[in-house]
Amino acid sequence: MAWTWSYEDADGGPVGTSQEFDSRGDAESWIGEEFGALLDEGVAQVRLHDGDTEVYGPMSLAAE
């Protein structure tokens, strides 16, 4: 299966998806590097998917 992130706005509405990653570790490393750029593009939270299965989320990209 391919790992992907789905992107949501602050109200939980869908705003896009990431590229596909070969592993969960690759996907999590990528989000750690790119969350600032995603925030600038209006993404407020993300969900991690393994194929069609949601693994976790929503995860806010904003600083706590």
Write down the domain spans for the chain. Answer: 3-60
Query: What are the tens digits of pLDDT across the range 1-56?
Result: 799 999 999 999 999 999 999 999 999 999 999 999 999 999 999 999 999 999 99
Spatial separation of the C-alpha atoms in residues 2 and 43, rounded to whole Å: 21
Beta strand 3-8 with 45-50 is antiparallel
Lookup result for tokens 């969960």: 24
What pLDDT shows up at residue 2?
96
User: 3-class DSSP state for residue 41?
Assistant: coil
What pLDDT shows up at residue 46?
98
Query: What are the tens digits of pLDDT across the range 40-49?
Result: 999 999 999 9
Global pTM value? 0.92
